[in-house]
């Protein structure tokens, strides 16, 4: 390389670094970008924020808050905030009543914000305009600091702050389905971020950034490993690795949990049984818990998938879920640990509708679980489909705290390739009314504990995080992580508001951009429903990888793993009869909902084929036949993706090139695959019903054999 080129190269790199552009826009910084503000905005900010008063001997958590504030201000303005001890015009005052006498002197409603809440106020103190970030605990201060920075990033008026906020749900956790070999079950963003092999001695800067991102949303726990757990995670050397991560996350208020395999006492403990009523087994778990807590004093507890999809569990010994969960709960109880026991159970030997089985098994156990057990229930009764009615267990287990399990990773929604804003899905579930105590008994009220007076509450999201530079495999998938965290803090938030907030922080605050892009995000969920599983259809994805269409799959040994089990299409009609004439799954819902779902006059089109088996010529509310309506929904899905592409193109001026192109490329794949879904599905159903396509509808280009022949042995996430 000649000298001139080298100098020019160096100048370019330097220039890039100074402007922050070199690496800033590959998505790594998530919603915490802290980009330089334009002059006028910087002036407003520096007018409102002139200096920082922090507690004297800050704790590790308070120090994290201070560091974040400084990092952000350096990003916004190029300067750090001076630290001072005197209140003057524009000071930001951070502290708890214990750590700051200035805060203690203010008459603030500390009683209403609990351990994790905060107050964010513009106040006049000694005649000076001051911003107060106050909380009862250092963790509250950290959350308050992130809220303050969100106010700056979303361009709120900093002279009029008046926010009081506390989480509605206690346990707000991510579930990583990460294996010890760094593969990620249903992971579409590269390998696991946990480098188990090099831990505990070698740690990655990413671990801190992970913690920052989660703390910025109020996520306070993380389950590090797959629910299909490997027993080795409980060996001493893995406990040491887990402890190293716990040490990094602790200042950010994030506790670690582990998924455990129920048969671990056999596999790594040398016992010949894992029977939960066996005293040796009980002792083994007690000793194991004691050992973990010696290394991780604030360890959160265990997540358990038992007697589900071949995993071992108490039923292997003719014991119940209660026996299993309570045995583990007893081991954790002296340490304040929690058991999250999953209700994702169904059996191929049970001829009953799969959608009914979890309720059937768990409802009789209501009230029998130990106090430190939460039962973790997926949002719907089958499995993270593009759309499912809410799980009927919500509302019907008044004496057992149920926690929500959402999937953030898009196992059944096009992996990380398809732009689908899941905030809309989460909102639909949380706002769904169970009616168990009359109108307004929403799923949100169940899981925040207010409906049944649960003493413990929780929500989990199956993470979409991997080692990809952008963490989630696409920029827009970051929004799902973000939306999960925001709704975990406050399940009543609006998905659209969250989308707007995220867009402002992630891309641009320009109102034209924000409105247009938020429209696109809000429509994206319905689009995927339309091109994959319209009108209440579900589980039509191809076997194993769950990526493309496979409505024809009928030969798997387990009947309820076959898509034909779900759609039940034949020459006469399509759909799963879950009314009293069929499986009667509707009876698991409270009235008037059961009636609403059963009655063809009242049920919404979106749930139709989930609950009803109907003839192909059934007259829809639109006036079309069911067949014609179905076809038109597939087409609507395609049109929506085309429209998303056009919208994104119109937003080019607002987005940096790297993130723009990446998203545009992904949308191109999405359109191609939406077409694949439409064509394969229509071809298959047409093959079953022998009906003509409605007039003017484009015929799919290939035969059914072609679609059936496609195979994807190397699809990620399996």
According to DSSP, residue 692 is labeled: P
Cα separation, 682 vs 133, in Å, equals 57
Least gap, CB of 510 to ligand BDP (angstroms): 38
Residue placing its CB nearer to ligand BDP in the complex, 664 or 718: 718
Q: Which of 503, 495, 497 is nearest to 476 (CA)?
A: 503
Least gap, CB of 463 to ligand BDP (angstroms): 13
Cα separation, 376 vs 494, in Å, equals 24
Least gap, CB of 246 to ligand BDP (angstroms): 24
What are the distances in angstroms from CA 573 to CA 434, 565, 568? 30, 14, 8
For residues 680 and 552, the answer to whether their CB atoms sit within 8 Å is no
What residue number has its CB nearest to ligand BDP? 383
120: left (phi over 0), alpha (psi -120 to 50) or beta: beta
Residue placing its CB nearer to ligand BDP in the complex, 227 or 666: 227
Cα separation, 44 vs 24, in Å, equals 24
Least gap, CB of 372 to ligand BDP (angstroms): 22
Q: Which of 649, 278, 193 is nearest to 463 (CA)?
A: 193
Over 109-160, what HEC string results?
A: CHHHCCCCCEEEEEEEECCEEEEEEECCCHHHHHHHHHHHHHHHHCCCCHHH
According to DSSP, residue 168 is labeled: S
Residue placing its CB nearer to ligand BDP in the complex, 148 or 412: 412
Residue placing its CB nearer to ligand BDP in the complex, 382 or 444: 382
Cα separation, 50 vs 73, in Å, equals 11
Residue placing its CB nearer to ligand BDP in the complex, 186 or 612: 186
Least gap, CB of 675 to ligand BDP (angstroms): 25
Residue with tokens 């019903």: 689
Which residues carry out catalysis? 309, 383, 411
Residues found near ligand BDP in the complex (CB under 6 A):
185-186, 227-228, 305, 309, 344, 383-384, 411
Q: Which of 137, 124, 208, 130 is nearest to 166 (CA)?
A: 137
**Strand 221-223 to strand 255-259: parallel, antiparallel, or no bridges (unpaired)?**
parallel
Structure tokens at 312: 């071992």
Strands of the 51-53 sheet, one edge to the other: 51-53, 91-95, 128-134, 118-125, 162-165
Residue placing its CB nearer to ligand BDP in the complex, 309 or 494: 309
Q: Which of 631, 596, 169 is nearest to 389 (CA)?
A: 596
Least gap, CB of 227 to ligand BDP (angstroms): 5
DSSP H or E stretch at residue 458? strand 458-462
Least gap, CB of 717 to ligand BDP (angstroms): 8
Cα separation, 176 vs 689, in Å, equals 42
Q: Which of 576, 574, 542 is nearest to 556 (CA)?
A: 542
Residue with tokens 């970030």: 133
Residue placing its CB nearer to ligand BDP in the complex, 164 or 718: 718
Residue with tokens 């757990």: 229
Residue placing its CB nearer to ligand BDP in the complex, 335 or 378: 378
Least gap, CB of 384 to ligand BDP (angstroms): 5
Residue placing its CB nearer to ligand BDP in the complex, 138 or 411: 411
Least gap, CB of 527 to ligand BDP (angstroms): 22
Q: Which of 384, 531, 377 is nearest to 458 (CA)?
A: 377
């Amino acid at each position: 390389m000649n000298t001139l080129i080298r100098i020019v190269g160096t100048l370019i790199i330097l220039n890039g670094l100074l402007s922050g552009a070199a690496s800033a826009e590959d998505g790594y910084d998530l919603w915490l970008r802290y980009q330089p503000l334009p002059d006028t905005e910087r002036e407003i900010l520096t007018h409102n924020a002139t200096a920082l008063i922090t507690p004297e001997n800050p704790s590790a958590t308070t120090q994290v808050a201070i560091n974040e504030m400084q990092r952000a201000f350096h990003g916004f303005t190029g300067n750090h905030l001076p630290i001072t001890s005197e209140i003057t015009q524009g000071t930001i005052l951070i502290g708890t009543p214990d750590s700051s006498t200035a805060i203690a002197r203010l008459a603030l409603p500390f009683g209403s914000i609990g351990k994790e809440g905060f107050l964010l106020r513009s106040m006049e103190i000694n005649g000076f305009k001051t911003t107060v970030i106050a909380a009862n605990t250092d963790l509250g201060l950290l959350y308050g600091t992130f809220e303050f920075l969100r106010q700056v990033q979303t361009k709120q008026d900093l002279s009029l702050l008046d926010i009081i906020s506390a989480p509605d749900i206690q346990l707000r956790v991510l579930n990583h389905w990460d294996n010890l070999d760094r593969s990620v079950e249903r992971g579409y963003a590269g390998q696991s971020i946990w480098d188990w092999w090099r831990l505990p001695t070698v740690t990655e800067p990413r671990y801190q950034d992970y913690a920052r991102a989660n703390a910025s949303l109020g996520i306070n726990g993380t389950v590090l490993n797959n629910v299909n757990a490997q027993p080795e995670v409980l060996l001493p050397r893995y406990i040491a690795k887990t402890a190293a991560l716990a040490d990094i996350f602790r200042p950010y208020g994030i506790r670690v949990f582990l998924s455990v395999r129920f048969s671990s006492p056999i596999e790594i403990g040398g016992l010949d049984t894992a029977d939960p009523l066996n005293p040796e087994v009980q002792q083994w778990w007690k000793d194991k818990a004691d050992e973990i807590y010696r290394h991780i004093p604030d360890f959160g507890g265990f997540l358990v998938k038992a007697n589900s999809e071949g995993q071992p569990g108490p039923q292997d010994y003719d014991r119940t879920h209660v026996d299993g969960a309570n045995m583990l709960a007893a081991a954790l109880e002296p340490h304040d640990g929690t058991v999250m026991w999953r209700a994702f159970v169904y059996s191929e030997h049970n001829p009953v509708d799969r959608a009914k089985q979890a309720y059937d098994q768990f409802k009789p156990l209501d009230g029998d679980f130990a106090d430190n057990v939460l039962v973790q229930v997926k949002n719907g009764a089958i499995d993270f489909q593009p759309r499912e009615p809410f799980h009927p267990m919500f509302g019907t287990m008044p004496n057992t705290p149920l926690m929500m399990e959402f999937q953030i990773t898009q196992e059944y929604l096009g992996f990380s390739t398809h732009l689908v804003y899941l905030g809309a899905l989460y909102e639909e579930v949380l706002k769904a009314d169970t009616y168990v105590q009359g109108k307004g008994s929403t799923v949100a009220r169940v899981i925040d504990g207010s409906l049944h007076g649960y003493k413990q509450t929780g929500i989990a999201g199956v993470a979409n995080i991997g080692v990809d530079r952008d963490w989630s495999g696409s920029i827009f998938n970051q929004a799902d992580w973000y939306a999960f965290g925001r709704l975990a803090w406050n399940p009543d938030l609006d998905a659209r508001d969250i989308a707007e907030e995220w867009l402002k922080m992630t891309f641009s605050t320009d109102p034209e951009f924000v409105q247009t892009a938020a429209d696109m995000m809000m429509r994206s969920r319905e689009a995927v429903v339309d091109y994959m599983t319209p009108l209440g259809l579900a589980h039509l994805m191809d076997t194993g990888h769950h990526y493309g269409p496979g409505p024809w799959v009928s030969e798997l040994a387990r009947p309820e793993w076959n898509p034909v089990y779900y759609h039940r299409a034949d020459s006469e009609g399509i759909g799963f009869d879950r009314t009293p004439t069929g499986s009667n799954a509707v009876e698991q819902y409270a009235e008037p909902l059961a009636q609403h779902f059963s009655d063809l006059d009242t049920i919404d089109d979106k749930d139709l084929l989930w609950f009803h088996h109907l003839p192909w010529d059934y007259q829809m509310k639109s006036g079309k036949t069911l067949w014609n309506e179905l076809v038109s929904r597939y087409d609507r899905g395609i049109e929506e993706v085309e429209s998303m592409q056009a919208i994104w193109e119109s937003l080019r001026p607002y987005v940096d090139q790297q993130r723009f192109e990446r998203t545009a490329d992904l949308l191109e794949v999405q359109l191609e695959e939406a077409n694949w879904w439409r064509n394969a599905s229509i071809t298959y159903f047409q093959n079953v019903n022998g009906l003509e396509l409605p007039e003017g509808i484009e015929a799919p280009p290939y035969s059914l054999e072609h679609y059936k022949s496609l195979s994807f042995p190397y699809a990620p996430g399996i």
